[in-house]
Amino acid sequence: MRTRAFVMAIVATLAAAACGSSGGSTASSAGSTPANPCAKSNLTLVTPGQLTIGTDNPAFDPYFQGPTGHEWTGQFNHDPYNDQGFEDATAYAVAQQLGFSKDQVNWVAVPFNNSYKPGPKNFDFYLAQVSYSSKRAQGADLSDSYYDVQQAVVALQGKPISSVTTVAGLKPYRFGTQIGTTSYDLINSVIQPSQSTQVYDTSNAALQALKNGQIDGLVTDFPTAYYMANVQLSNGTVVGILPGAGSGPKEHFSLVLQKGSALTQCVNGALSALRADGTLAQIQDRWLNQAAHAPELQ
Amino acid sequence: MATALISTVVVFTAIGLAIVTAPGWPAVHEAFLNGKVFRASFPDIARAFKLNVKIFLVAEAVILVFALGIAMLRSLPGPVFFPIRAIAIIYTDVFRGIPTILVVTLLALGVPSLGLSGVPISAVFWATVGLILIYSAYVAEVYRAGIESVHPSQEAAARSLGLSRWQTLRYVIVPQAVRRVIPPLLNDFIGLQKDTALVAFAGPVEALRQAGIDEAANFNFTPYVCTAVLFLVLTIPLTRTTDWLIARDRRKRAASGVT
């Protein structure tokens, strides 16, 4: 397999050199340039010839949409093979950019903390609303942004917190979030609430705590917040969007790859091409409700 | 003594070498035994660990009393007390049969959703109640074993002195029973100390949850090792005491010739 890929790479290089020489000026550089490491045949993949993408199970709205299927079953779950929803469509767009057709994409269900545990991985890249941080980048390769994300506060209509318009006004309330999220850091660094923050295993448990009144506000990324307030809760509301922590770069979602993976520069290349030709913006327009907006908390 | 020492050194060196020379060791060392992450997360986790200790102390005090009550109810003789015995039996069967994590999660997220006024909605409160219910079922059985280990002649003698059934249980049987079951009681409390980590699943940030937060922030699993160390510091004194008590008990009985 490897030999054949090598031979093909040589053939490709020679062909390029041949074309180049007839074309003129670019000939000299083509001969010395090594084969494109991001060419489909040169990628080191979990399953050769197939792109294996990992995501969490359940795969939630609005990042994954459409019917359930494969391993992704149960309420509020969606089959990633649907190619529907923001992250689902982004993943397929990256795959296509790398040269994979739709039927060459396989999905595996990977719990979040398995995406960065040491040792061999069962996916080529993983995406499930993972926010970038420099600390995290020490444990796994994190791609460039595919979505610049803001965090928002979800609450129940009619509760005192729902009429708050400033960050300072949020201080006296009790907040909750899902474990493993940057939302937790944001609660502690930006809101600095006077009551201890609650942290749940799943977003459903956090929603239940919100309904129970065990927490006043739930902090999560804005698309999820909008979905929770308008679909999952019958009387929910997005109180507002939180400003980021400090003046640092904006928070963004990254694809997760094996630490030191050769594929990282290739997905970064694919993402930058998709951004440049407007594909990422189109996907965002289509799957993240652009009409959805909420006040910014000052 | 020397043989024990040599064999211990050989065994541990072999195990150590097998781990350190494993192909994945550098990655495991980096992800699970990272000194930098350990030092950074230790203060947070130690602070969160106070909640575990608090829950443990409150739960233990309640369990000691509550479980003894259950055991005594279950030990009441005679057909009149059958309904009470039945309730005690159902209680111990049910709460020994359900995984602790389910009871904790269901109570802490479920009871507050009833919306009853006057009933606390605190997740810590209901998670602690869950631990008390589970461990009382175990401890009640330990007490009962102790009560049944007291020879029936003791009860007959007490009754012949004119003590009522209740008085016999209270002044003759239970004091002897409790002394006998102290080692297994402590065993259950070691379990309880560890299971305070299950409160995490109801939302409160105790040591395990703080470790999970630090894990996700660093993409590194060292905070769990940090939490494990803290739990060991708490449980080892109790496990050693328990073993010492058991050994002392055995010596005493061997000396007096009583079995």
Cβ atoms of A118 and B27 within 8 Å: the answer is: yes
- Single-letter code of the amino acid located at A68: T
Whether A197 and B212 lie within 8 Å, measured CB to CB: no
Distance between CA atoms of residues A136 and A116, nearest Å: 9
Contacts of A179 in chain B (CB under 8 A): 209, 212-213, 216
State the burial class of residue B180 (Cβ atoms within 10 Å of its Cβ: 0-12, 13-18, 19+): middle
Chain B residue numbers with beta carbons less than 8 Å from the beta carbon of A181 are 216
Is A181 in Cβ contact with B212 (below 8 Å)? no
pLDDT value of position A217: 95
Under DSSP, is residue A107 helix (H, G, I), strand (E, B) or coil?
strand
Record: contact A205-B212, CB cut-off 8 A: no
Q: Is A139 on the interface with B (CB under 8 A)?
A: yes
Complex ipTM above 0.85? no
Q: In Å, how far is A29's CA from the nearest CA of chain B?
A: 39
Which pLDDT tens digit goes with each residue over B171-228? 999 989 988 898 889 889 999 999 999 999 989 999 999 999 998 888 889 999 999 9
pLDDT at A146: 92
The overall pTM is greater than 0.90: no
Minimum Cα–Cα distance from A260: chain B residue: B27
Nearest Cα of chain A lies from the Cα of B37 at a distance, in angstroms, of: 10
Q: Given CB atoms, is A113 within the 8 Å cutoff of chain B?
A: yes
**Cα–Cα distance measured from residue A129 to residue A255, given in angstroms and rounded to the nearest whole number:** 8
Residue of A nearest to B216 (CA): A180
- Give the mean pLDDT per block of 10 residues along chain A (298 residues): 47 46 43 71 87 91 89 87 93 93 92 86 92 89 91 93 91 93 89 93 90 93 90 91 72 92 92 92 85 77
A193 has a chain B CB within 8 A of its CB: no
Closest partner residue to A140 (CB to CB) among B112, B205, B219 is: B219
* Pairwise CB contact (< 8 Å): B113 & A196: no
C-alpha–C-alpha distance, residues B209 and A196, integer Å: 13
3-class secondary structure, A15 = helix
Burial of A13 per CB tally in 10 Å (0-12, 13-18, 19+): middle
Splitting chain B (259 residues) into consecutive groups of 10 residues, what average pLDDT does each group show?
88 90 85 90 93 95 94 85 92 93 91 85 93 95 92 92 89 89 89 93 92 89 94 89 83 70
Contacts 24+ apart (CB under 8 A), B253-259: none
Q: How far apart are CA A159 and CA A216, in angstroms?
A: 8
Q: From the candidates B44, B219, B222, which should be mutated to test the interface with A, based on the most A CB atoms within 10 A?
A: B219
Going by DSSP bridges, is the β-strand pair A175-178/A198-200 parallel, antiparallel, or unpaired? parallel
Residue A295 falls in which region: left (phi positive, over 0), alpha (psi -120 to 50) or beta: beta
Please identify among residues 2-31 of chain B the ones whose CB lies closer than 8 Å to any CB of chain A. 24, 27-28, 30-31
Q: Please tell me the distance from the alpha carbon of residue A267 to that of residue A48, in angstroms, as a whole number.
A: 17
Are B220 and A138 in contact (CB < 8 Å)?
yes
Q: How far apart are CA A101 and CA A92, in angstroms?
A: 9
Number of neighbouring beta carbons within 10 Å of residue B28: 16
Between chain A and chain B, the number of residue pairs with CB atoms below 8 A apart is 82
